[in-house]
Amino acid sequence: MKVLFICFLTFLLVSVGFDRLTTEASAAETLDIYVIDTCGGKAVILLTPAGETMLIDAGYPRQDDRDTNRIVETAQALGIKQFDYIVATHYDADHVGNIPQVDAKIPGRIFVDHGDVLPTANERDKKRYYEPYLKAIGDRKRMSVKPGDVIPMKELKVTVVASGGDVLSEPLPGAGLPNEFCDAATKPDYKDEYDNAGSVGLLFEFGGFCMLDLADLLNTIEYKLMCPNNPIGTVDLFMVSHHGFKVSNSKFLVHAIRPKVAIMNNGARKGGEPEVLDILKSSPGLRDIWQLHYSIAGKDKNAPEDFIANLEEKCEGKLIKVSAKRDGTFTVTNSRNNFSKTYKPKKIIYKPIDMDFEVPISIDMNEPNQ
């Protein structure tokens, strides 16, 4: 069996309770991830056991401050007064457009992006979103990252796998095997007039837990990243790219990384395309898809209702929370109904030679679909 494996470490088992979204900060031993509903935009808050924080994008700029309020309220409930990092994955309205407004209420310490806006992006968006973002940063630290860079955090390894249209030139440790899902005959050539192709793609590693988030990376850059060899390996959680549009989320990406769980930050009428839902559902080892919204386009291909945070077309603002342990176990919770499901890695017992103790090891054995 071909096993692409990056998330492989030896751990003593740690038993940690799951902490639902309350007015308290993160549980002491979990990485908590909050996927906030911005109705087809993107905003994700990460809180580590060490208390370090990261905001990835900030949704839409709106006169009623809808997305600003949702992000700020979530952060305040967690006791966050400053974001250690604010990541602008790319310079489209639904990602970077609202960062200045959020930053004015909960400031960022360091800003992460891919550098200059792509030349393919239209001039209107440069003036409306990129320039105000730069102005908001002022004289604070800005990290314009490249593939292979690591964003320094105490207990969370964050590796840049794509940025500015470039991708990893060398595989990550334990990865690099040929990708059986690549086909040069169907190599994509899609382009758009936005900054999507420049998206900052990040791999998060917390002990035995791995999450991949490629923002709105287009299939043309996905191909550069994943073909002919897979430089990433397998992951536990895939944040579905580009709100679930089919110009991203290619089979040669999704099936190669073999996620256990996928979370889609779609809107009711944005993304969630049936072709993407088909690719996700047929991915080897995938157990569940979670969605921020019921997809009108997806129809009967949508996830079961318990796995959808917002069932109505009205943008109600229900979020999805992920709480991950160092042993690779993670729990996903729907804030609409408090439905949650825990995903555990398989355990094997390894007894080192000439030693009198056994070491539990968390390992993904690439289980078939369940």
Within a domain: residue 350?
no
Please give the full DSSP string across 49-115, using - where no structure is assigned: TTS-EEEE------TT-HHHHHHHHHHHHTT-SSEEEEE--SSSTTTTTTHHHHHHHS-EEEEEE-S
Within a domain: residue 244?
yes
Within a domain: residue 265?
yes
Phi, psi for residue 261 in degrees, rounded to 5? -135, 145
Can you name the residues that pair with 220 across neighbouring β-strands? none
Q: How many domains does the chain have?
A: 1
> What does the pLDDT read at residue 368?
35
With a pLDDT cut of 70, the percent of the chain lying above it is 86
pLDDT at 349 over 50: no
**Domain span at 333:** 31-339
pLDDT at 343 over 60: yes
Distances, alpha carbon 309 to alpha carbons 25, 43, 319, in Å: 22, 15, 6
Within a domain: residue 369?
no
pLDDT at 229 over 80: yes
What is the dihedral angle through the alpha carbons of 249, 251, 256, 262, rounded to the nearest 10 degrees? 40
Q: How far apart are CA 357 and CA 355, in angstroms?
A: 6
How does strand 53-56 pair with strand 83-87? parallel
Within a domain: residue 248?
yes
Within a domain: residue 20?
no
Within a domain: residue 261?
yes
**Residue range 294-314: mean pLDDT, rounded:** 96
Q: What is the pLDDT of residues 171-213, one digit of tens each?
A: 999 999 999 999 988 899 888 889 999 999 999 999 999 999 9
> What does the pLDDT read at residue 4?
41
Q: What is the pLDDT of residues 44-88, one digit of tens each?
A: 999 999 999 999 999 999 999 999 999 999 999 999 999 999 999
Within a domain: residue 345?
no
pLDDT tier, 361 (very low <50, low <70, confident <90, very high otherwise): low
> What does the pLDDT read at residue 1?
41
- Mean pLDDT (the chain) is 89
**Residue range 206-223: mean pLDDT, rounded:** 98
CATH code of 175's domain: 3.60.15.10
